[in-house]
Every structure is written in structure tokens, then in C-alpha cells.
Chains A and B, each alone.
Chain A
């Protein structure tokens, strides 16, 4: 069974704070993704990574950065949190050698006050 975990289920931060969201997987998947989910907008890709230290911008990278120092860990960083970054953040992984299926983490609901 694929296990994808995220560091927090709920997080409350203040405007201007630096925020770290972490995703960890135990299946040796190469690809990892960060999405944000907002009602009526679906899931929008922020960044993805297809290997250690490799990253590519998704559709809405502004205000975010990522880090992938180890294969199993993919971090999303909000350099200076703003209220419009209040959202549900979902991490996903994919084993591109064998499958197109993405496996999602449980999500982190971030509120920026």
C-alpha cells in the first residue's frame, strides 16, 4: 500500500510568516506534486518534482517555492504567507516507471490570518 503523509492536517499562520508544508512517501516514487484545492477551482498544480533536487513550476507557482533534498520528502514553502494562500494543500506521488496513477496525501488545511 502506498503511504503518503503530510506534516499537519490543520495549520494556522499569520500574514508574513514563513510556512513549511512537508510531504513524505514510502514507496520510492520519483514524481511528487503539490496542489492547492479551492472550491470551484478544482486542484491546481503549484510545483512538481521528478527527481531529487529537480523541480518544475506548475500552473500557479507565484508565492511558493519547493525543496526536494531526499527522494521521499517534498517540501512546499510559503516565503511570506498571505491571506489569499488560505487553502487546502494536497501532496501527491507517482511511480512513473510503472503507472500514471497519482497517490494523494490527506491534505493540510492552511489558514492565514
Chain B
């Protein structure tokens, strides 16, 4: 089955700095890669996603890059703000069949943005 490794497990930055979280996956059949943000005491919510036919996707201060050859993808947050503090999870998903929608998550990264 799919295995997703996420690094670092904790990340501490100053407000205004950039933050990068990296994930690697094992199954070359995976073709959908979402990122979820979970604020303290809240449920995870999708913040951005990318498909394997795209190398990069950006949404305001967040961006995701994908390297299919190397089987890794990264989340980039620029101009970090205290409200970006949360746990971030990457995930990978295969295409089609009865497994459609099944996500394998990384271990999570606790991001702390200091004012």
C-alpha cells in the first residue's frame, strides 16, 4: 500500500518568514495530493491540493509543488502569520476503482508562527 512520510514534525518560524513542509510517497499510481490544516481543537480542513498532471499550484500565500519523478511534494507558505499556526497534514490518493477517495496521510507537522 501507499506510504507517506512528512517532515519536519515541528516547525517554528517568525511572523513574515516562509515555511516549507515536505512529503514523500511510495506508490507511483497515486495522482492526487491534498494538504489539510487542523487548528487546535478543530477539524481538519482542505487548504490546497494538486494532481499529478500539474507541477505547481498557488493560492495567495500558499503553494504546492510536485515532483513525480522523485515522488515528493511540498507545501510552501509565504509571509506567515500567527493564524497559520496549526497542524498540517499531507496526503496521497490513488486514481479510480473502489479505492477512489482513499487518502493516506503523513504524520503531520506542527507549525508555530511567533509574532
Contact = CB atoms under 8 A, between A and B. Distances in A.
B6 interface: yes
Nearest to A29: B101
Looking at chain B's contact residues, the main secondary structure is loop
B43 interface: yes
Interface residues of B, number: 24
Interface string B1-18: 100101001000000000
Nearest to B51: A100
A50 B43 CA distance: 22
Interface string A32-70: 010100001111110010100000101100000000000
Contact of A96 (B45, B101, B104, B106): B101
A105 B93 CA distance: 20
A105 B9 CA distance: 24
A48 B104 CA distance: 12
B107 A40 contact: yes
A35 B38 CA distance: 14
B105 interface: yes
Nearest to A59: B1
Contacts of A56: 98-99, 102
Interface residues of A, number: 24
A100 B98 CA distance: 14
A66 to B, nearest CB: 14
A25 interface: no
Interface of B: 1, 4, 6, 9, 32, 34, 43-46, 49, 89, 93, 98-108
18 contacts: A33-B102, A33-B103, A35-B105, A42-B4, A42-B6, A42-B105, A42-B108, A43-B105, A45-B103, A48-B101, A50-B101, A56-B99, A59-B1, A59-B104, A90-B44, A96-B100, A100-B32, A102-B101
